[in-house]
Structure 1
Amino acid sequence: MPALNPNLDLNDIYRRFTDGDRSGAVRAGWVERYLDSPVSFWCSLHAPSAARDPMNDQQQHIFDIGNTHQDRVNALLYPGGIQEVFTSEEDGFRRSLEVMAEGGVYIKDMPLVCWPNGLTGRPDVLERVDGVPSVFGDYSYRVVEIKSARRLRESQILQGALYNRVLGLVQGYEPPIFQMVNGDSGIVPVDMADVDHRLDEVLAEVREIMGGKPVDFCYGAARWPWMSYVDSQAVAANDVSLIVGVGATVRSNLVAAGYATLQSIAEANETELVTVRRVGAATAKKMVISARAIQGNQPLPRGELAVLRRGRTEVFFDFEGAQEQEQDGGLELVNYLIGAIHRTPGGEARYKPFFAETFDDEDANLTAFLQWAGSLDDPVFYHWHSYERTHLEKMVDRYGVDPVLAAGVLDRLEDLSPWATKGFAFPAYGESLKDIAKCLGFKWRQDDVTGVGTMSLYMRYVDSGSADQTAKGKIIIYNEDDCLATMYIYDWVMAQ
């Protein structure tokens, strides 16, 4: 046990750091939220609370992954951490001070506050470091922040940096290094000197937003729970960001040049549009046609369609995946369902699902699909975007699948996404399967199921020991509709 400071006056420390107005304090989580989506952060402070999106399957799944990862990391690396219930932030801070003064080894999710400096936060873990003195004795604490992402974002690192700064003020010693734990449960040290200046910049920007500085409502820029609100504001303003590919930076350049609305782009002269920074000739042409398609609410041809491989059997297929928690704490994506709509000229389109009853059945399920695919007469496998090819190649490599068997599908893949979107501008605000199919009139049968939501449904099914047939049925219907939507777009384009 390290030596405690016998002259420590906890009441004095508590008074010094809780003296002041807490209303203007920046919370560490706000740093991450602001950097990930400034408009979402603005909304959390200034938008009507009734405009928040409700919790959905996708967001709940993300929360569940993060919480599960944090619990596993705590159990593996920081066992026995002290975490207590508190009635207010000040009450929790007082208890944090008491535990630190007692030399607790690990302190979990307890508040640190510094009202005079306008900073507060609750680090995932405070870890005792012996031999490095602080106001508490011949030991001090360091911040450990746990994230489920394998690649740490700047926003996450700066959140940890703010915790480290507050900790330094409270204990009278700022550790030169704090630690992040990533999605692979790897410890990543961060040098405070490398992020100190950037943290100051971000804190100043956050305080401007807190003070009411307006933000631009850029379509697609918000995160839950403000996506619907921000997107609706952009639609109401007929904002230029409604055009696919116009993100925040390009939007700013366009607005500065006088192109703030969809209509202004639809009516623009392409030779003038290319004078805008980061807008080349090809981009200008694409933007103008896209704007006209949306304004007129009808698809418009962009140019000649690329040649698409054809076969005697057409297969429209789609994967569904879920993340399995591995023993080492990592997350492995398992593609548990391969659904396929198949048809021959003049024949009826039929749906065939290949469903893995457990995470461990992915290998056998893949083999069953490939063997079935090999039995088809001159097939071509159509899919939307790159997910299917990427993950099919990964699974083939992971399980050492016979190259000849795998080639029967891999050599016959056709991605319909670039083929369709380079050939036509669609009256949609995105180019996902759902964006394009819906604007052409296709409807999914289930409003309460999303792609990420099927992950939760599958885990529910597995946890039930294959008894929850309702969950399985919802997944199957969702996957079949994705396959049908892919075929729907294909048929529409071929009919033009």
Structure 2
Amino acid sequence: MVITAENFFQYSKCPRWLYLELHGDSRQKTSPSDFLLRLKKDSLYFEQQVLKTIPCCVPQYEPGNYYQGMEKTLALMQQGVDWIAHGVLFTNNFLGIPDLLEKVPGNSLFGTYHYRPVEIKSGRTRRKIYLLQTIFYVHILEIIQGRLPDHMGLILSDRRQRLIPVRENYPYFQQVLQEIEAIFQGQEVSPFISSACQNCPWERTCVAEAWEREDISLIPGLSRQAKERLKNQGIIRISQLAHLSTRALRWFQQGSRGLSKRIKLQAQALASSQTIQMKRFFLPEKKVEIFLDIESEYQRGIIYLIGVLVCQDGQEEYRCFVAKDPIEECRIWQEFLAFMAQWEDDFIVYHYHTYEPMVLKKLQVKYGGEEDLLQHILGNMADIHKFIKDHLVIPTRSYSLKEIAKWLGFSWSNHKANAHQSMLWYSLWLETAQQQYLDWAIEYNRDDCLATKVVKEWLINKVS
């Protein structure tokens, strides 16, 4: 049994991920998406760029020979080298390769100095997984040098090192380490289905198993803690939860009566495979219907595509405003406003969830524009997601556009398409100028607009 930093990453994402990595059938594991591979590549490139600015020594050893790597690293530590890059820490069944080891004052087995780990991450903010992995290196260092460092270092996207106190974070690490060791020994972890599953290579395995078990984690809104409390009382199936009193469920969920009632109705909808209508509703309809979807790029923080599907007099037309270069974000905002200015009062803009109106407000602050026009647009917007959540309970495991539209029979043109993949296509377009990448991003946006229309029309049929 050798525990690595990768195990802490897997555990922090989902304990079930770690369990399946150790005890699952590897044939059922899917390959990482193009987007995740790109993230890893970008992260490695960022790390390499930072390391170029630091005068560090790198232990030389045969790839995979971690015993030799540990010997070479230990020799550098005994010499008192100021910075060690990718040193190997291998002892007591723990294997870690921190980005950097920094020499700092303070007695240890090496003398009047000791080492602390410094991790390089391309993220903008400190995350739990960063802390866990870095404290893991701290833990191994204590064994090797006979001293626990006071601080650990974290270099983020601004390339500035942050010193993080070790002792205040150490108890949490020790708790996680105990749980990881138990999973290594075979302690089973049951599936917990959530939106985070989409980036896990075991998603298909867990979802299939959850449906087979009729697992209560398939219920949207049910917290992991509530699931554990229910499990401890022998309530593990959706059908059991469907018959639980709202009062009892409120105790398990420790939420409001409304939330508990919603979860019970969700269990009933899933158990019966039927949609439940909680109250009557009327969806606004106008002569001109516009379905809006917006795409953004995470690294540069820009809006690169505003797409609209316009339906009028039985005809529909898709139109998109595309920033072929990041500096064109202002242009597409202005073009979108000019396009919207042509409509009178008899129009409505359908969108799915809160992202679109939020982006419009941000673009207004960033670039300006006619305030009355923006308020006119916002005043004629209707959130399809909110209508569904306020009035209906649907037998799906989430209320995302993809989940509901697919449940209704809609399919995207490209089976790989999702928001992350679209970001990658846009980045590849900027790097290569190959039109196909931009075309795929536009096609995905158009399909999102069409999917929103499909869900809206289904809602209208429910009303009638």
Cα distance in 2 between the residues matched to 1:148 and 1:299: 43
1:302, 1:424 within 8 Å by CA — same for their partners in 2? yes
- Matched to 1:193, the amino acid is R
In structure 1, the residue matched to 2:149 is: 175
**Is 1:351 the counterpart of 2:327 in the alignment?**
no
Q: Tell me the SS of whatever aligns to 1:193.
A: coil
In structure 1, the residue matched to 2:352 is: 384
**Structure 1: which 5+ runs fail to align?**
1-22, 325-331
1:57, 1:450 within 8 Å by CA — same for their partners in 2? no
Q: CA deviation at 1:271?
A: 5.1
- For structure 1, which segment, 290-299 or 421-430, has the greater mean C-alpha deviation from structure 2 after superposition? 290-299
Q: CA deviation at 1:211?
A: 0.8
1:289, 1:302 within 8 Å by CA — same for their partners in 2? no
Say how many residue pairs are matched: 458
Cα distance in 1 between the residues matched to 2:446 and 2:339: 17
- Trace 1:341-490 onto structure 2 (pairs within 5 A): 341-344=309-312, 346-378=313-345, 379-464=347-432, 466=433, 468-490=434-456
Cα distance in 1 between the residues matched to 2:283 and 2:46: 44
Greater relative CO (CA pairs within 8 A, separation 6+)? 1
- For structure 1, which segment, 432-441 or 448-457, has the greater mean C-alpha deviation from structure 2 after superposition? 448-457
Q: CA deviation at 1:56?
A: 1.2
Cα distance in 2 between the residues matched to 1:128 and 1:274: 53
Q: CA 1:48–1:102 in 2, change beyond 3 Å: closer, same or farther? A: same
In structure 2, the residue matched to 1:321 is: 296
1:108, 1:123 within 8 Å by CA — same for their partners in 2? yes
- Matched to 2:200, the amino acid is W
Cα distance in 2 between the residues matched to 1:258 and 1:69: 48
Q: CA 1:83–1:382 in 2, change beyond 3 Å: closer, same or farther? A: farther
Root-mean-square deviation (CA, aligned residues, Å) is: 2.4
Q: Normalising by structure 2, report the TM-score.
A: 0.91
Cα distance in 1 between the residues matched to 2:295 and 2:218: 29
Q: CA 1:189–1:481 in 2, change beyond 3 Å: closer, same or farther? A: same
In structure 2, the residue matched to 1:151 is: 125
- Matched to 1:86, the amino acid is E
2:253, 2:260 within 8 Å by CA — same for their partners in 1? no
Q: CA deviation at 1:186?
A: 3.7
Q: CA deviation at 1:302?
A: 2.0
- Matched to 1:375, the amino acid is Q
In structure 1, the residue matched to 2:224 is: 248
In structure 2, the residue matched to 1:239 is: 215
**Is 1:216 the counterpart of 2:216 in the alignment?**
no
Q: Of the candidates 166, 180, 202, which is equivalent to residue 206 of structure 1?
A: 180
Q: Normalising by structure 1, report the TM-score.
A: 0.85
1:99-118 CA distance string (max 9 Å, x none):
33444443222211122xx3
1:178-210 CA distance string (max 9 Å, x none):
111234434321111212222222221211111
In structure 2, the residue matched to 1:191 is: 165
1:370, 1:408 within 8 Å by CA — same for their partners in 2? no
1:288-347 CA distance string (max 9 Å, x none):
332232233332212222x555443221111112234xxxxxxx3211011110122x33
**Is 1:141 the counterpart of 2:115 in the alignment?**
yes
1:61, 1:452 within 8 Å by CA — same for their partners in 2? no
Cα distance in 2 between the residues matched to 1:336 and 1:94: 50
Cα distance in 1 between the residues matched to 2:61 and 2:223: 43
Q: Tell me the SS of whatever aligns to 2:363.
A: helix
2:250, 2:260 within 8 Å by CA — same for their partners in 1? yes
Cα distance in 2 between the residues matched to 1:484 and 1:318: 10
1:217-244 CA distance string (max 9 Å, x none):
1223655222221122111101111111
- Matched to 1:69, the amino acid is F
Q: CA 1:287–1:138 in 2, change beyond 3 Å: closer, same or farther? A: closer
Cα distance in 1 between the residues matched to 2:369 and 2:120: 36
In structure 2, the residue matched to 1:52 is: 29
Q: CA 1:364–1:80 in 2, change beyond 3 Å: closer, same or farther? A: farther
- Trace 1:118-137 onto structure 2 (pairs within 5 A): 118-129=93-104, 131-132=105-106, 134-136=108-110
**Is 1:36 the counterpart of 2:21 in the alignment?**
no
Q: Tell me the SS of whatever aligns to 2:298.
A: strand
In structure 2, the residue matched to 1:15 is: none
- For structure 1, which segment, 223-232 or 147-156, has the greater mean C-alpha deviation from structure 2 after superposition? 147-156
1:257, 1:276 within 8 Å by CA — same for their partners in 2? no
Q: Tell me the SS of whatever aligns to 1:151.
A: coil
- Matched to 2:222, the amino acid is V
2:223, 2:253 within 8 Å by CA — same for their partners in 1? no
